[in-house]
Structure 1
């Protein structure tokens, strides 16, 4: 598969808290960082997203009385999964994993998301209210990007919702499956079903690196 000047690589939430030893670790998260670096070398446009929460983030279970993490609750904008506290602004957990530093250095921009305490944000394009834009779509259009390739964490949440919104914004979306890791099998299966329905392609990194 040929990479062109109208392609961009989106590196999704390659942060310490989503890797082994982090507050919301995804199994195998740290292991994909060298592959992400290899991919980033092939693209003229690389953009990273970064969870950037305040301590009073609505999606933190600790901010809801007697509610345990991984429970869904109803909030103003709909159903919201509650998580362990993670990627709090200015903490080591919010930092990019050190092994992905080359890719982050190549990034044209870092899109910080989830900084509004009243609204969580999975997608790199929109907060979870599905109305508040991050500015990513405009940045990509200004660069002449037509197709986005996605890698990072986690496949079944932030990668999924970013890919879905990419299609809705008129971009072709391609998920590099072996450069992602998922939180759970059931949500990973739901992501695959959604990708098939929306026309999001899934490939292996070797198609780009060969």
Structure 2
């Protein structure tokens, strides 16, 4: 069975948001159209407490884009975003949600960031996504959302490590692009790891 997984299509990641992804809003019509092709749809939602240690604002003297050690692991510092219950943490207004089976919240532990929809960045806390997919006999995961070079990429890589066939839908994602080629490099890394990179037009069952 196949599932569509929509990663973090939230207001703070859209143009005008706290951590805006350029043209992030352009993927919403693509994802909405894709949803018509799937009977099983899941989503992830960044859901940080305000004191999250990945926020530059919680480290006096530090700036967004700096890398620090957080619990022994390299951590990029981000602007405050997707704080629990905030407007920026809500899903995009135009994103259809009527067919969704479940939403998996991530990033709740203030001491560790969580890019992947499966685990935190230290692989110590599990969102329950793997077990849920197995419970519903899902073998193929089609991944969309924001952003290609962070949460989408790590979700795809973990899907592969957890034994699922993973597909990255290239026109249903955009990248932060801290470096100009991050989008392309991310797609190469996912493909090299075993994911199939396809366009939304190629999704047909």
Q: Does 1:169 align with 2:162?
A: yes
| 1:18–1:153 contact (8 Å) kept in structure 2 | yes
SS at match of 1:106: coil
Q: Does 1:136 align with 2:129?
A: yes
**1:147 alignment counterpart:** 140
| 2:46–2:106 contact (8 Å) kept in structure 1 | yes
Spell out, residue by residue over 1:74-116, the C-alpha distance to the aligned partner (whole angstroms, 9 max, x if none). 111511111000000111100000010x2x2211100000011
Deviates more, 1:178-187 or 1:149-158: 178-187
Deviation beyond 4 Å, 4+ runs, structure 1:
none
2: CA distance between counterparts of 1:65 and 1:82?
12
1:190 Cα deviation (Å)?
A: 3.1
**2:176 alignment counterpart:** 183
**1:55 alignment counterpart:** 50
**2:80 alignment counterpart:** 85
2: CA distance between counterparts of 1:132 and 1:27?
30
Q: Does 1:195 align with 2:190?
A: yes
2: CA distance between counterparts of 1:157 and 1:29?
14
| 1:39–1:209 contact (8 Å) kept in structure 2 | no
| 2:191–2:197 contact (8 Å) kept in structure 1 | no
SS at match of 2:181: helix
| 2:141–2:166 contact (8 Å) kept in structure 1 | yes
More helix by share: 1
| 1:77–1:129 contact (8 Å) kept in structure 2 | no
> Which of 108, 111, 118 in structure 1 is aligned with 2:111?
118
SS at match of 1:178: strand
- Taking structure 1 as the reference length, the TM-score comes to 0.93
**1:24 alignment counterpart:** 19
1: CA distance between counterparts of 2:152 and 2:77?
18
| 1:51–1:87 contact (8 Å) kept in structure 2 | yes
CA RMSD of aligned residues (A): 1.2
Q: Does 1:10 align with 2:5?
A: yes
2: CA distance between counterparts of 1:173 and 1:70?
30
2: CA distance between counterparts of 1:193 and 1:78?
24
